[in-house]
Amino acid sequence: MMNVLALEFPPVTHLFEWPDFLFTDTPVALNKTGAIYVLALLLTAGLFWAAGRRRALVPVGAQTVAETGIEFVESNIIMQTIGPDGRRYLPLLTTMFFFIFFSNIFGVIPLVQFPANSRMAIPLALALVVWVIYHYVGIRTQGFFGYFKGSLFPPGVPWPLYILVAPIELLQILLIRPLSLAIRLWANMVAGHLLLVSFAVLSAALWGAGFIPAALPFFALILITAFEIFVSALQAFIFTILTAVYIGGSLHPQH
């Protein structure tokens, strides 16, 4: 059980690296990170299943959470970045938001206490999915040459500057966008997890010296835990809204 549950402080190498506990020595070996992704799948699916089952006129419980999530993604992400024709991406972006949020929030869930996105797996995989989607949308909407011409040679720039701008833009749409998307999410969750572990270790270490010395880091630990809940939602929001921004840029190059 020590391979999964956060019942004791792990060795430093296991802050982010977890040994396999199922299907070991196979290509589908499951460790804690993979298990959290499966839990995020079950939680999101369970939430929407429960929301669709109640069918109450005045929503309560899971229905409120699911409907608020959908409305939030639709009003605050899609309508702000893509516009009405971005509604077709609502299922994708809603799924992305909830999946990332649930993967993150396990960083503060007792006995789990590990944000799965502090591993690079899903941040990178999702960033690559986004990369494929926004290129596909851009090429489908503007054509191959139109898309790359619009991206590399933005209008309103004096032509000598294109020598500088075009390579930067090429790097941006091919590399910087997906990498920044992945690294932003990953690094934020790594930093949050390190902070939580540091203050937890500090509190435990100072507990031997008495209640008063341990109180300060413990109080900070509580504050950081609350802050991590906020960061979990914020990073899910940022990842989703940037995805919408990239898709919107491919759909409406004039903006």
User: Applying CB under 8 A, which residues contact other proteins?
Assistant: 13, 16-17, 19-20, 27-31, 33-35, 37-38, 40-41, 44-45, 48-49, 51-52, 55, 57, 63, 66-67, 70-71, 90-92, 94-95, 99, 103, 116, 119-122, 124-126, 128-129, 131-133, 136, 183, 186, 190
What SS3 class is residue 57? coil
Q: Which is nearer to other proteins, 128 or 226 (CB)?
A: 128
Q: Which of 80, 132, 73 is nearest to 99 (CA)?
A: 73
Closest contact distance (angstroms) between CB of 63 and other proteins is 8
Q: Which residues have CB under 8 Å from 188's CB, separation 6+?
A: 231, 235
Alpha-carbon gap, residue 245 to 27, rounded angstroms? 35
Q: Which is nearer to other proteins, 122 or 214 (CB)?
A: 122
Question: Cβ(103)–Cβ(40) under 8 Å?
Answer: yes
Q: Which residues have CB under 8 Å from 145's CB, separation 6+?
A: none
DSSP state, residue 119: S
Q: Which residues have CB under 8 Å from 34's CB, separation 6+?
A: none
Closest contact distance (angstroms) between CB of 12 and other proteins is 8
Q: Which of 10, 213, 208, 239 is nearest to 104 (CA)?
A: 239
Closest contact distance (angstroms) between CB of 214 and other proteins is 29
Closest contact distance (angstroms) between CB of 20 and other proteins is 7
Q: Which is nearer to other proteins, 130 or 214 (CB)?
A: 130
Q: Which is nearer to other proteins, 49 or 230 (CB)?
A: 49
Q: Which is nearer to other proteins, 5 or 132 (CB)?
A: 132
Closest contact distance (angstroms) between CB of 74 and other proteins is 9
